[in-house]
Every structure is written in structure tokens, then in C-alpha cells.
Amino acid sequence: MIKFKPQRVNFADRRTPVMYDNEIDELAYSILEDYRPELLREPGKIDVEHFLEHYLGAEVQFHDIYYDDPNKPIRAITAFTKGKVKVFDRENNCVSYIDVPARTVILDNEVMESGKEGMALFSGCHEGGHLNLHWDVIVNKNGVPYEKTKNGEAAVICCQRNNIECVNFSYKERTPADWREHQADYYASAITMPNITFRPFVIQFLRYHGIYDGHIRIGRNSDLDILAKDLLPDYISELYGVSKRAAGIKLRKSGFVSEININSIIV
């Protein structure tokens, strides 16, 4: 396994790595080269459970994750230490605690529903990003959390729905936690849709449809709008196993698609 060692950290905010997106791309390339080099030769779907368990050394579990605020549903949790995690026990209709080992990734059962395979793939890789990038942020070299937990609870990062497949492009007023979520989300994108296969595919797809400058600006032509909003994201979703939403965000962040309102290209 490629072990991540940040070149720069912000000691003022709990050792959060200071990284450019292209540095995460480079790390993802090295990881895929070590894990499944064939994913760097042609577009393909990564087996997220295998990646988490056999490459990152995580235990993957599926539960109904409990959250106090109904407006902030939690999609996934990464536990950095052994301890208790709060879930909802459907059988007994009550909140309960489960014991998990260190390096556990918990995906909410809602993510695993039929038709949400792309969401599950990206969510798992997002949590893999936290494990890979933020281990030293949460625990010290002895595996002890920097911040004390209560009542035997595990040291965790809880990822809300809006943290994963995120469309927030503003760099202003980001907290350290926001930066960590951005890094984990970009990591997931770089692992599931590596640039070395993603960019040539998109360029060739656009050329096939008569677009030679490698860019579509939505709102100028209805046929091109359909291409950018539907056909191309659908194709990417099928090739890489990600959701159409994740594909649309990657296209936008890679500069292949633009418009004033980003939300109109996200489905």
C-alpha cells in the first residue's frame, strides 16, 4: 500500500494536509498503479469494497447510521480507533451502539439500495480518502486520538450527504473540516475516474460529436446541452460505475463543461 505522507500540513488546524488538487491526482495515480494498474490503461470500475478491505486495510460495515439532525443525514463514517458508534436498530426500533475496530468504514444502508450503486462506490472511496489522507489528523503515531472521546466512543469522521459528491466550488471561508471533506471528495473522484483515462475519453467523445475545442458551455445550443447534461455523464457513469452526479461534477471541475449555474448540470 502506498502510504501518504503530506509534504505540508497546517499545524494550526490539527495537521490538516495542505494539498493542491493535482497533488491528489498524482497520489491517486500512484495508488492505482500499485493496486490495479489496468485501471490506468482504460476506463473501468473499481471494486470499492475490495479496495477498502484489501488495499487500505479497512473493515467495511453496513448499518442504519443514526443522526440527531434530520436535515443533516450522515451517509458514511470512518472510525480511526476502536470503540462504539451510534446506529439505529430497526429490529427493536431504537438507538443502539455497536463496537467497531480501528480502520472501520461504515456505509449507511440507504446508500446500498438498488439503483444507488454509483453513490455507494463514491461514498466508499470518499471514506478511503479520509483513511488515506487524514489518519495523522485524527490520531497520533501510537493510534491515540488527539481529541478525547466520551463513553468509549470511537474517534470518527462523519460525512453528511452534502460532503460527498460535493458541488461547493467556493474556497472562501472553508474550515479545516471543510478542507478535509474537499480532499476526501477529490480523492474519490481521482480514484474512480483517473485523469489518465478520463481526459482522453472525454476529448475523443467530444471530437466524435464535432466539438474540437474540448469544451461545452451550456445554454448556447440545446443539442449540446443534452450532450453535456445527459449523454456524456450517462456514458461516464456506465464506464466508471459512478453516479451521473459525480460524472457531471468531474466534467465541470476538469473544465470540459461550464455555465453560470452549476446545479443545472447535476442530476
Residues 132 and 213 in one domain: no
In a domain, 107, yes or no: yes
Region for 93 from its dihedrals, namely left if φ exceeds 0, alpha if ψ lies in -120 to 50, beta otherwise: left
> How far from 244 is each of 169, 235, 248, 249, CA to CA, in Å?
18, 9, 6, 9
Asked if residue 74 and residue 179 are part of one domain, the reply reads yes
Work out the angle at residue 235's Cα, subtended by the Cα atoms of residues 205 and 196, and round it to the nearest 5 degrees: 60
- Asked whether 98 and 62 are in contact (CB, 8 A), the reply is no
Same-domain check for residues 241 and 162: no
pLDDT of residue 24: 97
| C-alpha cell recorded at residue 204 | 475523443
Residues 33 and 77 in one domain: yes
pLDDT in tens, 130-178: 999 999 999 999 999 999 999 999 999 999 999 999 866 556 678 889 9
Who has greater pLDDT, 265 or 146? 146
Domain total in the chain: 2
Domain termination site, one of 132, 160, 192: 192
Q: Among candidates 217, 221, 220, 223, which has minimal Cα distance to 265?
A: 217
169 and 240 both lie in a single domain: no
> Is 239 found in the same domain as 124?
no
Q: How confident is the model at residue 260 (pLDDT cuts 50, 70, 90)?
A: low
Q: What local confidence, expressed as pLDDT, does residue 265 receive?
A: 46
The answer to whether residue 246 is domain-embedded is: yes
In a domain, 59, yes or no: yes
Report the Cα–Cα distance between both ends of the chain, in Å, rounded.
35
Q: Which domain holds residue 252?
A: 196-265
- Does residue 36 fall inside a structural domain? yes
pLDDT at residue 263 in the model: 52
Question: Who has greater pLDDT, 25 or 176?
Answer: 25
Q: Among 153, 144, 124, which Cα is nearest to 66's?
A: 153
Last residue of a domain, one of 192, 218, 251: 192
pTM: 0.93
**CA 103/CA 130 separation, integer angstroms:** 10
For residue 24, give every residue at least 6 positions away whose Cβ sits within 8 Å of its Cβ, in sequence order, or none.
133, 183, 186, 187, 190
- 80-115 burial, b if ≥16 CB within 10 A, otherwise e? bbebbbbbbeeeeeeeebeebebbbbbbbeebeeee
Give the Cα-Cα-Cα angle 72, 118, 94 (nearest 5 degrees): 40
If asked whether residues 74 and 117 sit together in one domain, one would say: yes
Residues 167 and 236 in one domain: no
In the prediction, which pLDDT does 174 show? 82
Question: What is the Cα gyration radius of the chain?
Answer: 19
pLDDT of 245 > 70? The answer is yes
* DSSP annotation of 176: H
Domain limit, last residue, from 192, 208, 230: 192
Check residue 261 and give its pLDDT: 57
Residue 3 resides in a domain = no
- In this structure, is residue 4 part of a structural domain? no
Within-domain flag for 69? yes
| Positive or negative: CA dihedral 204, 207, 213, 216 | negative
pLDDT of residue 130: 98
Q: What is the mean pLDDT of the chain?
A: 93
Does one domain contain both 178 and 209?
Answer: no
Question: Within this chain, do residues 111 and 136 fall inside the same structural domain, yes or no?
Answer: yes
The DSSP element (H or E) to which 131 belongs, if any, is: helix 117-138
Q: What percent of the chain has pLDDT over 90?
A: 85
CA-wise closest residue to 104 among 79, 123, 77: 79
Q: Indicate if the pLDDT at residue 250 is higher than 90.
A: yes
- pLDDT at residue 5 is higher than 90: no
Q: What would the grid cell of residue 28 be?
A: 491517486
Q: What is the mean pLDDT of residues 114-142?
A: 96
Looking at residue 182, its pLDDT comes to 95
Q: Is residue 223 part of a domain?
A: yes
Beta bridge mates, 108: 63
Give the single-character DSSP code of 150. Answer: S
| Structure confidence at residue 16 (pLDDT) | 93
Same domain, 158 and 257: no
Q: What is the pLDDT of residues 171-214, one digit of tens each?
A: 667 888 999 999 999 999 999 999 999 999 999 999 999 999 99
**Claim to verify: residue 225 and residue 129 sit in the same structural domain:** no
